[in-house]
């Protein structure tokens, strides 16, 4: 499948939600742990060799499964193939928790559900659809009315 | 750059925000208009040959520029190279407006700004930080 690779590369240079050097091991049998600069940008996880500007690779984080891997590590796999795991090793319990939480909330779908939740909260509190109440711009109005509840 | 292509293909089979058969022309010089099934899923625009299950390609919609192209059409380009345009031809003015608006709001960044807006609204109303949703 073709895709606009240049834009994905440009995305990898954008400010990250989270970035750190972690140990990383690919899903292939016999793969070894390597140090990688791992960077979370929107719904992508980029990983770089520590001295390079272009990423080695990118993981699209929709429909992903984030699991704890003792000690101080986690794995990412995908609903299409849950046993095929990318492993990450953190340097502390805190770092591991931080990454797992960020990854769990990184998907577009998660963000969309949050948006629906907040809209409903406002509606409950005010008895009104926030789109009417707060003079939200036409564009935001359209976006939210098309969300499936 | 490597990426998890299988998951991108799986995403192309998810329910779409918008899907339609449109005329499509690539950015290369001399490219011709082809009928494509165009499908908007999260922050990706997938395009398929009309009789195939796997997409021909995908456009990641972050940092994209959506512009009107008369008549009844629009183009998508990217901040990295704004003159390199993917052209789309709609069958009506209404369809064109519908797509342009959807594409303009499709990015993750747009959604994140909306989320911040709502959280602030709740904070203003309750005087406390908006309920943080933890699933």
pLDDT tops 90 at residue B47: yes
Backbone angles phi, psi at B55, to 5 degrees: -65, 150
- Identify which of B5, B43, B119 has the shortest CB distance to residue A1: B5
Report the candidate in B11, B13, B26 with the shortest Cα–Cα distance to residue B53.
B13
pLDDT tops 90 at residue B54: yes
Closest-CA distance, A88 to chain B, in angstroms, reads 16
Contacts with B110 from chain A: Cβ below 8 Å: 143
CB atoms within 10 A of CB B97: 14
Q: Which residues contact A35 (CB under 8 A, 6 or more apart)?
A: A21, A22, A23, A24, A50
Per-residue tokens: A57: 């690779």
Q: Sign of the C-alpha dihedral, residues A91, A96, A98, A102?
A: positive
3-state DSSP call for residue A139?
helix
Which pLDDT score, from 0 to 100, does residue B119 have?
Answer: 87
Cα–Cα distances in Å, from A104 out to A77, A97, B104, B115, B135?
Answer: 12, 10, 26, 17, 9
Mean predicted confidence (pLDDT) in B14-21: 96
Contact call for residues B100 and B106 (beta carbons, < 8 A): no
Which pLDDT score, from 0 to 100, does residue A135 have?
Answer: 47
pLDDT tops 80 at residue B116: yes
Say which DSSP state A16 is in: P
- Identify which of A43, A57, A63 has the shortest CB distance to residue B1: A57
**In chain A, whose CA is at the least distance from the CA of B102?**
A143
CA distance B98 to B13: 22
pLDDT tops 90 at residue B31: yes
Q: Is the pTM of this model over 0.90?
A: no
pLDDT band at B59 (very low <50, low <70, confident <90, very high): very high
Closest-CA distance, B22 to chain A, in angstroms, reads 18
Closest-CA distance, B118 to chain A, in angstroms, reads 6
Which pLDDT score, from 0 to 100, does residue B102 have?
Answer: 96
Percent of chain B with pLDDT over 90: 81
Tell me what the pLDDT averaged over chain B comes to: 92
pLDDT band at B127 (very low <50, low <70, confident <90, very high): confident
| Chain B interface, best mutation among A2, A5, A6, A7, by max B CB count within 10 A | A7
Q: Name the CA radius of gyration of chain B, rounded.
A: 17
Percent of chain B with pLDDT over 70: 94
CA distance B64 to B85: 10
CA distance B107 to B76: 13
Which pLDDT score, from 0 to 100, does residue A125 have?
Answer: 84
Whether residues B108 and A79 touch (CB distance < 8 A) is answered with no
Which pLDDT score, from 0 to 100, does residue A124 have?
Answer: 86
Report the candidate in B55, B98, B90 with the shortest Cα–Cα distance to residue B70.
B90
CA distance A53 to B11: 28
Tens of pLDDT along chain A (149 residues) come to 999 999 999 999 999 999 999 999 999 999 999 999 999 999 999 999 999 999 999 999 999 999 999 899 999 999 989 999 999 999 999 999 999 999 999 999 999 999 889 888 888 888 876 655 444 444 454 455 555 44
Whether residues B80 and A142 touch (CB distance < 8 A) is answered with no
Which residue shows structure tokens 């380009």?
B77
Which pLDDT score, from 0 to 100, does residue A103 have?
Answer: 97
Which pLDDT score, from 0 to 100, does residue A121 have?
Answer: 87
Note the ipTM here: 0.88
**Residue/partner pairs of B78-81 with CB below 8 Å, 24 or more apart:** B78/A4, B78/A6, B78/A7, B78/A10, B79/A10, B80/A6, B80/A7, B80/A10, B81/A6
Q: How many CB pairs under 8 A join A and B?
A: 148
Domains of chain A: 5-106 (2.30.29.30), 111-147 (no CATH)
CA distance A12 to A45: 9
**Would you tell me the crossing angle of helices A138-145 and B108-126 to the nearest 10 degrees?**
100
């Amino acid at each position: 499948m073709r895709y606009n690779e240049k834009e994905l590369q440009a995305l990898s240079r954008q400010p990250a939600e989270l970035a750190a050097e972690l140990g990383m091991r690919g899903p292939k049998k016999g793969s070894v742990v390597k140090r990688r600069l791992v960077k979370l940008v929107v719904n992508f996880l980029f990983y770089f060799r520590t001295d390079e500007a272009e990423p080695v690779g990118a993981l699209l984080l929709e429909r992903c499964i984030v699991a704890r891997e003792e000690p101080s590590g986690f794995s990412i796999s995908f609903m299409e193939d849950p046993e095929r795991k990318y492993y990450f090793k953190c340097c502390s319990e805190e770092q591991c928790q931080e990454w797992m939480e960020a990854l769990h909330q990184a998907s577009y779908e998660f963000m969309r559900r949050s948006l629906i939740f907040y809209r409903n909260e406002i509606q409950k509190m005010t008895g009104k659809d926030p789109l009417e109440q707060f003079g939200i711009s036409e564009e935001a109005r359209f976006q939210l009315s098309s969300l499936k509840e």
